[in-house]
Amino acid sequence: MLRLPVRFAALATFLLIGLAGCGPSGDPDLHVTSDPQAAVPVSGSSQVVVTIVNDGDGDDALVGASTDAALGVEIHLTEVEDGRATMRQLDTADLPAGERTRFRPGGLHLMLVVPDETVVEGGTFELTLHFDRSDDLTVPVEVVPLLDLADDAFDADLEEPASAEDVTGD
C-alpha cells in the first residue's frame, strides 16, 4: 500500500530535477493585442490577421491553431523571390520574449483551410491558438471583406515584409 506514494514522490523528484536541469529559462506571457480578423474566403482558404505579444522573459512558439469553422488552420510564410510570392507551410512560429509577432498577409500568417459557411462577411468564429509552453488562447475572429492592415502589417519598418525576421522584428 505504501509503495504507490513513494513511487509518485520519486517520479516528482525526477521530473523536478529534469525541469531544473534542461528546461527553458524564463516564462512566456502571451497576449493577443489586435482584434483578430479573417478575410472573406477566396478559393477555399482565408487568411487571418492577429498580433501576439510575448510580455514575458521566456521564449514561446505558436505550434498550431484550430477552429470548428474550417477543416484546418495552417501556419504559412509568404516569401518573395524574383518578384514572385510563394507560401510555405511552417510547423511552428517563434514568439520570442519581449517581442510582438504579427500574423498577416504578405509575411507570417495563419490560413484557414476550407472555411465553412460561418466564415462569411459579418460573421464571427472562435480560433484557438496552441503554444509550445503557454496554455491555449481562444479568440473571436471577425470576418471582413478586406483585412484591416493598418496596425498589423504595413508599419513604416515593414515596407518589404518578405521574411520572418521582418515580421517579428521591432
Interface residue list for Cu ion (CB under 5 A): 76, 87, 111
Q: How far apart are CA 109 and CA 107, in angstroms?
A: 6
CA torsion angle 31 128 19 169 (round to 10): -50
∠ CA(112), CA(157), CA(144), 5° rounding? Answer: 30
Report the first-to-last Cα separation within the chain, whole angstroms.
58
- If the CB atoms of residues 87 and 97 are measured against Cu ion, the closer one turns out to be 87
Shortest distance, position 76 Cβ to Cu ion, whole Å: 3
- If the CB atoms of residues 59 and 147 are measured against Cu ion, the closer one turns out to be 147
Shortest distance, position 72 Cβ to Cu ion, whole Å: 12
Question: By Cβ distance, which residue is nearest to Cu ion?
Answer: 76
Shortest distance, position 48 Cβ to Cu ion, whole Å: 10
- If the CB atoms of residues 80 and 97 are measured against Cu ion, the closer one turns out to be 80
